[in-house]
Structure 1
Amino acid sequence: MSDASHLVPVAVHAPVHSGLGDLLSYASPEPLPPGTLVRVPLGAREVLGVVWDGAAPPPAAGVEIRAVAGVLEGLAPLDAHWRRLVAFTARYYQRSLGEVALAALPPQLRTLSAEQIARRLRRSTPAPEVAAETIENVVLSAEQESARAQIASEPGPFLLFGSTGSGKTEVYLRCVQEALAAAPDAQALVMVPEINLTPQLEERFRARFAPRFGAAAVVALHSGMTHAQRLASWLAAHAGRARIVLGTRMAVFASLPGLRLIVVDEEHDPSYKQQEGARYSARDLALWRGRTQGAKVILGSATPSLESWHASLPATPEDPAGGRYLRLHMPSRIGAGALPRVRRVDMNQQPRRSVLSPPLLAAIAERVARGEQSMLLLNRRGYAPVLHCADCDWKSDCPHCSAHQVFHKLDRTLRCHHCGLTQRVPRACPACGSLDIVPIGRGTEQLEEQLAELLAPVLRPDGTPARIVRIDADSTRAKGALQSQLAQVHAGEVDVLVGTQMIAKGHDFRRITLVAAVQPDGALFSSDFRAPERLFALLMQAAGRAGRDAAYMAVQGTPCEMWVQTSHPRHPVFEALKRHDYPAFAAQQLQERAAAGLPPFSFQALVRADARTQDVAQGFLRAASEAAQALPELAQVTLYPPVPLAIQRVANVERAQMLLESQHRTALQRFLAAWQPLLHATRADPAHKGLIRWLIDVDPLAI
């Protein structure tokens, strides 16, 4: 390194557990401000890096300092707010700084040359547009106006607890409008849990804001976009041209220098928790980012997560401070529409093996005859979960996973939904040769087929047969298939919609008057303590698809309904659902969790090990637990023994996990930070040969 060179610290995406540390030192002929994007050599490759804050780490003795290969000209440095967000994420979720930083950037930034980036920048600068002076707003209801006024006058964060159909989106639109009007460089981030909800929301935001700010002011960011589209959206947000970014969990890392408002819609949804790499919660990071960047944060849901509900408890004489969030309540539907009446069908009293109970089938037939729409929810795709031989008890087990291969009748395949293995359905039992192999259980394919048979005699008002559409991960694989099927439903070209949880979230179906949950009991007795919360949220969200158009319901003259077929009609989940009483359900669940010392009254982390054998996986976790006994930080943390995962083998990899729990978040974080070097040392021990990988999941959503 010449005397004229400057040492700069650079964050790069180094190989996992490489031991290289968070930052590497490189030589630059001139000082580079933190946040500058650079290309640097790493081994035999040239990679993207981000110049970081502070002094460069001193080089080890005898190590040659390599030079920065190039700077991405024309791109303003990533600001201090973005760098703090990345640093916090890496620290809290126990990942490397470079891994988080580089994963948060568009993939094309890693591959395009400086010249190509410059061309993209020139192309992405739109011509000036003539904008209208005002935005056409709808009149807010009293509840919407109250929520808007409180958001405008209070610092937040806010939990907007509004029933399905109460108009939460309109409140978001108005709050975004006010945030943008407050400053010429102000930006807003609006997050949704699912990719398939983004186009629907994008359409509403463009219709509202494009006349005022231009079409380029609203961009989307989600994994369903091409690399080129993601780069264009990211560049527009980074340069401040995009005033509104709509996206899924990845959008929480968008470079937004003028961020003034963050909206997290359906904040309870598990999709906000990343399940690969850095297992961050985008909802929690949105709250952290809003606090540190001075942006207001609105969490919205009809069924808030119990963590958010607990954090928004109002002040009481026993707790004068109350929760950290301000809870805003919107219990009424727009247009004075009624929430659906919930009807429980006791399947113990129905004909054995019936798919749909006679009363529910009759109710659906009535809807079809009147030209109304119905929606049936079965959260299991395929035709049947398993094929079974009645003679020798053979089942369609996946040879690579601890799971069954699912029978898909349409293409006569057996598919593993974990490793992806697909095989043709055998003509006879592979074990004994018997031809008597039958499907057990039901999936959406079978429900669609049987519904078509049962409704065959039923005619629509125009005398044509009932039209049934299935929406699940199988029927929407082709590009544009989901948008096409949803358009059919919105246009009234579908009488009965069958699907998985994909159809239960966020969609604004205007003609659905009946929703039915066909087999919801599986989640009632799960070993996961969060299963009742997830089931209640799913059923409440599904019920919210019915009767959303008050004017349409008034013309039809019949009440909207939610039917639940269950063998446990008196279960507390269904009792609360019948009353649409989320507060009562939340109070009961929080009481149980407080008694058991479960989140949000404690804090958890999982350490997971994947190996060639279960013995190796659990052996690594046991050794890591023994190494932790020497740590003083262990005093406030409980380590449970390692156990296999519920599905312990996937793609011939055995999986085990170990739960950590503490009453204090900071104590758990201190322990994890102190434990990391011991985990690395344990991994390097030859005794654990056969270990493939290990990872830490902080605040896990599934155990």
Structure 2
Amino acid sequence: MNKLLRVAIPSPLRRLFDYLPPCDSETSTESVTLDSNHAYSTNSGIGRRVKVPFGRRELIGVVLDEVTETDVPRNKLKPINEFIDEEPLLPSYMLEFVLWAADYYQHPVGDAVLHALPALLRKGSSTDSVHHYVWQITPHANIEQLAKNASKLRNSFQIIADHPAGISREAFRAEGGDSQALKALFNKGLISEQLQESTPPISNPLKEAPLTLNPEQALVVQHLQNAPHFSPILLDGITGSGKTEVYLQAITNVLNAGQQALVLVPEIGLTPQTVQRFKQRFNVPIRILHSNLTDKQRLEAWLDARDGRAKIIIGTRSAIFTPLLNPGIIIIDEEHDGSFKQQEGFRYSARDLSVVRAHAENIPVILGSATPSLETLHNCQSGRYRHFTLRQRAGNAIAPEFKLLDIRGARLHNGLSEVLIEHIKAHIEQGTQVLVFINRRGFAPSLSCHDCGWIAECRRCDARMTLHYNPAHLHCHHCDSQRPIPARCDQCGSDAIKPQGAGTERTEQTLQSLFPNTSVLRIDRDSTSRKGSLDKLMEQVHSGEPCILVGTQMLAKGHHFPRVTLVAILDADGGLFSTDFRGMERTAQLITQVAGRAGRADHPGTVFLQTLHADHPLLTNLALAGYEAFAAAELTLRKQYQLAPFRFIAIVRAESQKPGTAESFLQSLREAIAPSFGGIDWQGPFPSPMEKKAGVFRSQLLLSCPSRIHLQNCLSHLCLVSDEHPSHSKVRWSVDVDPYDLY
């Protein structure tokens, strides 16, 4: 009897689908085992992509199992249309990893499995569509053969020179290379294109000598050398303490052993200096994976990683699903960052999955941060992770001095106190640089009528629209809807409509008027949306000339500003009164990260926190004792009130086009399930704090339990009940396990 194929299909249905083998083939009945390279050793159907009929459509799926029994009559089963792959795309350990993640995060398995593949593979493209032609520098070619002012040619030449084994067109473009410059370099005979048969062995993986480690850094690197197996560690280092150098030297040891390294960062676009340091240090193929790449670029980088050509892979959260031929280490930089948690669809945490994956592959994993999450600190206290601290800043740099600036009753110039303005003036006159942090984009957070109090609100969300002047428009940052700035009040017709509050645009404008002879550089998502714009701004900063940087949390991550001696945080009170119990933690992390941009070289730094609550215990504790003391106190409170990480949390979210429908759906789920699962604390359902978003009405149900297993069992049952619920088709619902945002 032919075996049946159980296929994962990208759909919201939480099940697999049985199919007959293709009409013209038989599937193998052999078992699947791993060879020394983590690959399948048989030609089993498991792990291979297939084209299958699904209703009136043809879908791409992945075979997950071969069975002989099915609940569906055989005469009702359809045959697979065709196998796309001759061999499985994913090694079996990676397939098992994805299935584990789908199960833990209560997500439909078909959607999760296809999520782990690049977009072109999800669409059915062949892996043979990527031909490994690479550009290389020709013998005796030198960058000095190019004119000094030919910046595009020199930049493109250097990108190719940084890859002695060659770089493909797609990877070249992904790293900012110019296509016209490529043609010009070829015409000059400085580069040539060749078919790369395989990656040539590299005798020395280093381009430049490593730095000398201080005793704290050396202790970490020595530990990793002595424990090249599963060994989760927290690298808890203050800003400027040399965490990246530890990463680099740990990776050097991995490369010398013939293995690969996977490095996850919060956002590639915000950490250009980190990526550049890797390229300067290593003489091996490095691939970058993030959402701004084209589909072909992502596929090429994914295949280079899977097949072992790429030795170092640097990516954002989705890169956690990238297979490696010879995995050696996983590094999570800025592990506390919320962007490692997927907030829509497959709601996984790349940080947490990195530990699961490292355990499965029996390799070390480093979680690095200057402001570790309380969950990670708790894992250290529980003995699950090793805790290493770096408290010594690199070189002669010393930690910045914190000062609380009480602005109660003070006169403000669009959010800037006169005392702060005087300090900014003094630092500019000293020839150094100033960073002004305000975590609000746009000109002003809202537009209101001075006569009747009307406020411009989004018509699709329960939110105010942000005023932008460049270009002029109102913008909702929740649903992305935009509309022109009205000339008169929508409510009373008055023309007395005025901006309220200050965003980055208004702060930039104010500072430029106060300091007309000083460059004021705004760095936020609006000012850096064009390709290369962030690089140009950074060039100005690194020139060393006095300037004022104005920006959002884009400035808090991965940047080294050696000339910045003053950091001013305009709205230090932002998260002090959040309804989310993690609000305090995030505020402390953000303040500490931004403050860390000051005093990173020979110039001492000062941090001013403008606040209306200068006596708030969080701010005083943070300013006087630092993040470590804050975290210890906050963990004590979490334990006292039995909040995460001392309890496990999940949220069931639902949304509908009609108000009340989602809430009724969740209420009926609670009534059906809660009596069978004692020991679980149920809260809600209740409307989300922003009930209406993008035109739909949202509600949520929060579950917490001291037992992870008991909570998971309850969630599994809840998903089964939800799929059969009479209102299932009227709502869109999802489960968020270990949520980053409670509301």
TM over 0.5: yes
Provide the rounded CA distance (Å) in 1 between the counterparts of 2:387 and 2:474.
48
| Aligned residue in 1 for 2:263 | 190
Q: What letter matches 2:92 in structure 1?
A: A
Q: How does 1:235-246 map to 2 (within 5 A)?
A: 235-246=303-314
Shift of 1:209: 1.8
Note closer, same or farther for the CA distance 1:419–1:330 as it changes in structure 2 (3 Å cut): same
Q: CA deviation at 1:152?
A: 2.2
Alignment of 1:241-320 (within 5 A): 241-313=309-381
Aligned counterpart, 1:65: 77
**Partner of residue 576, structure 1:** 621
Moved more, 673-682 or 349-358: 349-358
Identify if the C-alpha distance between structure 1 residues 622 and 482 changes in structure 2 by more than 3 Å, giving closer, same or farther.
Answer: same
Q: Which residue of 1 aligns with 2:645?
A: 600
Match of 1:462 in 2: none
Alpha carbons 2:270, 2:554 under 8 Å: kept:
no
Runs of 5+ unmatched residues, structure 1: 314-321, 457-464, 554-558
Matched, 1:368 2:380: no
| Aligned-residue offset at 1:168 | 0.3
Aligned counterparts of 2:132 and 2:69: Cα–Cα separation in 1: 36
- Which residue is 1:317 aligned to? none
* Alignment check: 8 A CA contact 2:488 2:495 kept: yes
Deviation at 1:354, TM superposition (A): 5.8
Q: Residue 384 of structure 1: CA displacement? A: 1.0
Q: In the alignment, what sits opposite 2:735?
A: 696
Contact 1:157–1:326 (CA under 8 A) maintained in structure 2:
yes
Q: Structure 1 residues 512 and 132 mapped into 2: Cα distance closer, same or farther (>3 Å)?
A: farther
What is the aligned counterpart of 1:181 among 239, 252, 256? 256
The answer as to 2:105 corresponding to 1:93 is yes
Unpaired runs of 5+ residues, structure 2, are: 29-43, 134-167, 169-194
Candidates 486, 501, 513, aligned match of 1:453: 513
Quote the offset at 1:33 in angstroms: 4.2
The equivalent residue for 2:605 is 560
Which segment drifts farther, 445-454 or 147-156?
147-156
Match of 2:41 in 1: none
Q: Pick the aligned partner of 1:641 from 684, 693, 705.
A: 684
Contact 2:475 2:481 in 1 (8 A): yes
1:202 paired with 2:212, answer: no
Given the alignment of the two structures, is residue 437 of structure 1 paired with residue 497 of structure 2, yes or no? Answer: yes
* Deviations, residues 496-547 of structure 1 (Å, cap 9, x unaligned): 1101111111112221111110012121011011011001111111111112
Name which of 592, 595, 598 aligns with 1:543.
Answer: 595
Moved more, 89-98 or 489-498: 489-498
419, 425, 429: which one pairs with 2:485? Answer: 425
SS in 2 for 1:629: helix
CA deviations 1:213-265 (Å, max 9, x no partner) are 3xxx2111111111111000001111111111100100100011321210000
Q: Over residues 421-460 of structure 1, what are the superposed CA-to-partner deviations in whole Å (9 max), with x where a residue is unaligned?
A: 211111111211111111111111111111111223xxxx
Which amino acid letter does the alignment assign opposite residue 344 of structure 1? L
Aligned to 1:468: 520
Alpha-carbon distance, 1:484 to partner: 2.3
* TM-score of the superposed pair, with normalisation by structure 2: 0.85
Q: Is 1:49–2:61 an aligned residue pair?
A: yes
Identity in percent: 39
Partner of 2:196: 126
CA contact (8 A) 2:414 2:510 kept: no
Alignment equivalent of 1:501, drawn from 542, 553, 564: 553
SS of 1:661's partner is strand
CA distance, structure 2, for counterparts of residue 535 and residue 379 of structure 1: 11
SS in 1 for 2:589: helix
Q: Distance in 1 between matches of 2:68 and 2:412?
A: 72
Secondary structure, aligned partner of 1:336: coil
C-alpha distance in 1, partners of 2:78/2:724? 28
- CA–CA distance in 1 between the matches of 2:525 and 2:540? 17
Contact 1:25 1:57 in 2 (8 A): no
Q: Which residue of 2 aligns with 1:626?
A: 671
Among candidates 8, 11, 15, match of residue 8 of structure 2: 11
- Aligned pair 1:142/2:215, yes or no? yes
**Match for 2:567: what amino acid?**
V
CA-to-partner distance for each residue in 1:654-698, whole Å, 9 max, x for gaps?
Answer: 11111101011111001111221111122x34xx77x33011101
Q: Distance in 1 between matches of 2:52 and 2:544?
A: 56
Return the match for 1:172 from 247, 260, 263.
247
* Contact 2:274–2:558 (CA under 8 A) maintained in structure 1: no
- SS at 1:485 equivalent: helix
Displacement after TM superposition at 1:349 (Å): 4.9
CA deviations over 1:72-96 (Å, ceiling 9, x no partner): 4465541121011111111011111
Q: Distance in 1 between matches of 2:91 and 2:200?
A: 28
Letter in 1 for 2:261: A
CA–CA distance in structure 1, aligned partners of residues 132 and 328 of structure 2: 27
Match of 2:122 in 1: 110
Among 297, 322, 326, the alignment partner of 1:229 is: 297
Q: Name the CA distance, whole Å, in 2 between partners of 1:485 and 1:514.
A: 19
Equivalent in 450, 457, 462 of residue 397 of structure 1: 457
- Mean CA deviation greater in 197-206 or 495-504: 197-206
Contact 1:7 1:25 in 2 (8 A): yes
Give the aligned CA root-mean-square deviation in angstroms: 2.0
* Aligned position for 2:186: none
Q: Which residue does 1:673 correspond to in 2?
A: 716
**Counterparts of 2:561 and 2:661 in 1: how far apart (Å)?**
51
> What CA deviation, in whole Å up to 9, does each residue of 1:393-427 have, x standing for no partner?
21101111100111112322111111222111111
Contact 2:403/2:609 (<8 A) preserved: yes
Partners in 1 of 2:290 and 2:16 — Cα distance?
Answer: 27
1:24 touches 1:56 (CA, 8 Å); kept in 2?
A: no
Deviations 1:320-346 (A, max 9, x none): xx4210000110101131011111100
Name the residue aligned to 2:52.
40
* Separation (CA, whole Å) in 1 of partners of 2:491 and 2:562: 51
Residue 511 of structure 1 is matched in structure 2 by 563
Structure 1 position 25 matched with structure 2 position 19: yes
Aligned residue number for residue 660 of structure 2: 615
Contact 1:59 1:65 survives alignment (8 Å): no
Q: CA deviation at 1:630?
A: 4.5
Structure 2: distance between partners of 1:267 and 1:161: 10
Aligned residues: 659
Deviations 1:584-641 (A, max 9, x none): 101111111111110001011001110123311111111111111353xx11211112
| Match status 1:220 vs 2:288 | yes
Residue 139 of structure 1: CA displacement? 1.4
Compute the TM-score of the two structures, normalised by the length of structure 1.
Answer: 0.90
Partner Cα separation in structure 2 for residue 530 and residue 63 of structure 1: 55
More displaced stretch, 135-144 vs 352-361:
352-361
1:493 shift after superposition: 5.3
SS of alignment partner, residue 395 of structure 2 = helix
C-alpha distance in structure 1 between counterparts of 2:623 and 2:649, whole Å: 32
SS in 2 for 1:675: helix
Give 1:63 shift. 4.7
1:355 shift after superposition: 2.1
1:25 aligned partner, one-letter code: Y
> 2:260, 2:68 → 1: CA distance?
33
Matching residue of 2:38: none
Classify the secondary structure of the residue corresponding to 2:112: helix
The whole-number CA distance in structure 2 between the counterparts of 1:370 and 1:24 is 73
2:543 maps to amino acid? A
- Among 419, 427, 433, which residue is 1:359 paired with? 419
AA in 1 matched with 2:704: E
* Aligned counterparts of 2:244 and 2:84: Cα–Cα separation in 1: 38
**1:235–1:134 CA distance, 2 compared to 1 (3 A):** closer
Quote the offset at 1:287 in angstroms: 0.5
Greater shift in the superposed pair: 102-111 or 50-59: 50-59
Residue 198 of structure 1 and its aligned partner are, at CA, apart by 4.9
